[in-house]
Structure 1
Amino acid sequence: MTQPLSAQVFPNGARVQRLRVARPTDQLEAVVQFYRDGLGLPVIGQFEDHAGYDGVMLGLPDAGVHLEFTRLQSGSPGTAPSNDNLLVLYVQDGSDLTLFEASFAALGCLPVEPENPYWLGKSLTFQDPDGWRVVIFDLSASQ
């Protein structure tokens, strides 16, 4: 996160440079492996024992958008709320789907049936170790 990023101007005039989505997990190492090796997101930061938390941040190559996974050393965050809590990545065509499918297969992770039938036939859905889902959507299939 050392590169300066250009800000996006929001409708209210605020300039936003980064977006981080953070969530807790009981399985930090397995979740990091899923997003790092399955999706290919590089680790862009990490910390240990910061006020009782460990964490890892993974992001797009420019670090403008990233995910943070934290583990509370003294407790559990519980399970994913539903099968329809999604992180969606939009790819250009079916060949990109094939690349992600191969990456996840190497981890022993096969696609799962999406909760919402909208995603059928134009995407692949994968479930992370905590039960949260990632959809890889083929933009060319929706045209």
Structure 2
Amino acid sequence: MNEGGSARESSNAWPDALRVAQVRIARPTDRLDEVVRFYVEGLGLRELDRFVDHAGYDGVMVGLPGAEYHLEFTTHVDGSPGAAPSAENLLVLYFESERHRDEVAGRLGAFGVEPVSAENPFWAANGGVTFPDPDGWRIVLMPRPVF
């Protein structure tokens, strides 16, 4: 803990031993156009970059403003390894308020995506709403940060 600061304040900084500039979570899909449409038009993330035919891969990066944290979706000419491994593979987005969570949930509903029950009851018990993307990977929309 920093002198005069709280443990929470000091936990918001990257550790000195891990000088990371960006974080990317990447996964394959056989439905690249559908997945990108879900995350950009449905969820509301921004398309940051894309590439075509890089060693047989096409890909799109989507994310939040600033591009320090983003998702990459790729497709390969030979196909992908398959669908989501379990219902517990989650992307959890924490909103500033229930109203902000509800706006996105409403947009996904208007987009034709129906919420599903979370496997872990923690999410629903704390106000989370879970949606599947076109590949079955799940997005949990939480009404507020937990810390």
Coarse TM-score class (shorter-chain normalised): 0.7 to 0.9
Match of 1:42 among 23, 36, 46: 46
CA distance in 2, matches of 1:108, 1:36: 14
Match of 1:11 among 8, 12, 15: 15
Specify the structure having the higher radius of gyration (Cα).
Answer: 2
- What RMSD in Å do the two structures reach over aligned CA positions? 1.9
TM-score normalised to structure 2 length: 0.85
Q: How does 1:31-70 map to 2 (within 5 A)?
A: 31-70=35-74
CA distance in 1, matches of 2:65, 2:14: 22
Unaligned runs of 5+ in 2: 1-11
Match of 1:123 among 98, 118, 128: 128
TM-score normalised to structure 1 length: 0.87
Amino acid at match of 1:139: R
Is the CA contact (8 Å cut-off) linking 2:128 and 2:141 kept in structure 1? yes
Q: Does residue 26 of the first structure (1) align with residue 30 of the second (2)?
A: yes
Identify the residue that residue 135 of structure 1 maps to in structure 2: 140
**Shift of residue 94, structure 1, vs aligned partner:** 1.0
Runs of 4+ more than 6 Å apart:
none
**Shift of residue 13, structure 1, vs aligned partner:** 2.3
**Shift of residue 12, structure 1, vs aligned partner:** 4.9
Structure 2 residue matching 1:15: 3-state secondary structure: coil
Is the CA contact (8 Å cut-off) linking 1:26 and 1:77 kept in structure 2? no
Unaligned runs of 5+ in 1: 1-7
Structure 1 residue matching 2:62: 3-state secondary structure: strand
Identify the residue that residue 104 of structure 1 maps to in structure 2: 108
Deviations 1:13-52 (A, max 9, x none): 2311110000000100010011111221110000111000
Match of 1:113 among 98, 110, 117: 117
CA distance in 1, matches of 2:79, 2:38: 22
**Shift of residue 93, structure 1, vs aligned partner:** 1.6
Structure 1 residue matching 2:92: 3-state secondary structure: strand
Q: Which structure is higher in strand share?
A: 1
Is the CA contact (8 Å cut-off) linking 1:9 and 1:16 kept in structure 2? no
Structure 1 residue matching 2:141: 3-state secondary structure: strand
